[in-house]
Amino acid sequence: MTQSAASPDPGLETRRDEWIQAAWRRIRPDRLRDLVRGLVDIPSPTGDEAPLAGHIAATLRDAGLFAVTQPLDDRQANAWGRLTGDGSGADLMLYAPIDTLTTGDPEQDLPWIGTEWRPDMRPEARVDGDLISGLGAGNPKGHAACVMAAAEAIRAAAIPLRGDLVVAFGAGGMPTNALPGGVRRNTGQGVGCSFLIEQGVWADYAIIAKPGWSVAWEEVGLAWFEVSVHGTHTYVGSRHRLPYRNAIVDAGRVAQRLDEWFAGYAARHTDGLVAPQGVVSAIEGGWPRMAAVTPATCRLMVDLRLSPRTGPMQARREFAAAMERIRDELTGVEITWRPVLAIRGETTDPRTWICRSAVTAWERVSGRPHEPVTASSGATDANILRGRGIPTARVGMPKVTDAPFPIDFTSGMNTVDVRDMVRLTRLLVHAAVDTLTRPRAELGLP
């Protein structure tokens, strides 16, 4: 089993374990169930998280924490809270985003999310034994509920903390730009986390609660590219009489070749914990109301994931080379492209205290040696925290597999098992108490 740094006082180690046990006894499945239901029942599409942030802050205050909302504008807000230590230790942030990947509005989500409007796609919690479903029940709201429950348990156990426990809940954690009607374009991509730190909510260490039952110290970043395939604007009745080059047909050929290139890109950059992937994610061209004419341009959106060892400029050069090869292969096809977004992948040294403590907690809760999960291609706000200089570990719950309904990507996001929530909350409590009851010097901090 991986060990945390040894304390010079064996008696203190015994008391620390007693404190952990005391907090564990205050983790109740029924409380976790209530917390996640309360979060699911308040819609929080990216850009409209303010009502949920207010609910979270009020819930934390009711549990005895200092807690506030932090508005980004009139619709979007973070929430954060604090348990104050005596100032002799390190501060630890437990963090979770709170916005959902889809909106919960069938007018916006269908047909792109699926061909039918299922119950799990709605912002309405449904309980089926230990399973709770509803929009975002698993990711991110089940994880946010675990952070809340960990803070409540530590507060109720009256543990003498040296450092402050900060719990933070960020708006705009999903990989999206503004939804229709938004007044700001930058409502996603970690904007809430970035704003939180800019406004002074810092810590020495952080743990982000996001899916995956293992401790991770690095993850991919991402680069978005807009690819424009150009053709001829013409009329179906004239295609045999006038110059004809269908941008939509050519865009399909470009997309196919990009999809083939992504496999080689992933193989070249797979190392450490990551296997960065790429995807053509959207296509735009023409007028659905006017099927008789072709557009002069068809646009594709590309998401290319970045290893922490691959910067945005290197990815841009590789993408440029790929586009040149595709132009050469597709004689006569006119293609232009531009980068539209980039977030670096970031890493934390696994020897850093918080990674070691999180691994120790994982092993204590799991009862077996920790095995890191590799080949990850998911990005989270951990990149924002690490990029701002906060050593950060990521840990979360596994995807639900044993359910009385099929588990696909969407239902996996929208389903959580309370038993997994108990386990994650215990881990968060263990790592928090292990960190917050030590003097700074013992953690290697000045």
Q: What is the mean pLDDT of residues 240-255?
A: 97
Q: Is the pLDDT of residue 409 over 70?
A: yes
Percent residues over pLDDT 90 in the chain = 94
Q: What is the mean pLDDT of residues 340-366?
A: 98
pLDDT reported for residue 11: 84
Q: Report which DSSP code applies to 370.
A: -
Which CATH number is associated with domain 10-219+348-443? 3.40.630.10
Non-local (6+) Cβ contacts of 117 within 8 A are: 106, 109, 110
In this prediction, residue 7 has a pLDDT band, given cuts at 50, 70 and 90, of: low
In this prediction, residue 182 has a pLDDT band, given cuts at 50, 70 and 90, of: confident
Judge whether 10-219+348-443 and 221-343 match in fold: no
33: three-class secondary structure by DSSP: helix
In this prediction, residue 5 has a pLDDT band, given cuts at 50, 70 and 90, of: very low
Q: Tell me how long the chain is.
A: 446
CB atoms within 10 A of CB 281: 11
Q: Based on the number of CB atoms within 10 Å of its own CB, is 226 exposed (0-12), middle (13-18) or buried (19 or more)?
A: middle
pLDDT reported for residue 8: 61
Q: Is the pLDDT of residue 286 over 50?
A: yes
What is the C-alpha to C-alpha distance for residues 68 and 30, in angstroms, rounded to an integer? Answer: 25
Q: Is the pLDDT of residue 325 over 60?
A: yes
In order of 9, 205, 412, 429, 440, the CA distances from 445 in angstroms are 19, 11, 40, 21, 5
Pair 229, 415: CB distance under 8 Å = no
What is the C-alpha to C-alpha distance for residues 29 and 423, in angstroms, rounded to an integer? Answer: 10
What is the C-alpha to C-alpha distance for residues 372 and 362, in angstroms, rounded to an integer? Answer: 11
What is the C-alpha to C-alpha distance for residues 223 and 393, in angstroms, rounded to an integer? Answer: 23
Pair 413, 139: CB distance under 8 Å = yes
Q: Is the pLDDT of residue 4 over 50?
A: no
CB atoms within 10 A of CB 320: 13
pLDDT reported for residue 386: 98
Percent residues over pLDDT 70 in the chain = 98
Pair 305, 379: CB distance under 8 Å = yes
pLDDT reported for residue 9: 73
298: left (phi over 0), alpha (psi -120 to 50) or beta: beta
What is the tens place of the pLDDT at every residue in 93-152? 999 999 999 999 999 999 999 999 999 999 999 999 999 999 999 999 999 999 999 999
In order of 244, 334, 350, the CA distances from 296 in angstroms are 10, 11, 51
Q: What amino acid is encoded at 207 in this protein? A: I
pLDDT reported for residue 180: 82
Tokens 């982000």 belong to which residue? 208
Pair 98, 141: CB distance under 8 Å = yes
What is the tens place of the pLDDT at every residue in 410-441? 999 999 999 999 999 999 999 999 999 999 99
Averaged pLDDT of the chain: 96
Whether the model pTM is above 0.85: yes
pLDDT reported for residue 3: 44
pLDDT reported for residue 1: 39
Domain boundaries, the chain: 10-219+348-443, 221-343
Q: Look at domain 221-343 and name its CATH class.
A: alpha beta
pLDDT reported for residue 312: 98
What is the tens place of the pLDDT at every residue in 53-72? 999 999 999 999 999 999 99
SS3 string, 305-330, reads: EECCCCCHHHHHHHHHHHHHHHHHHC
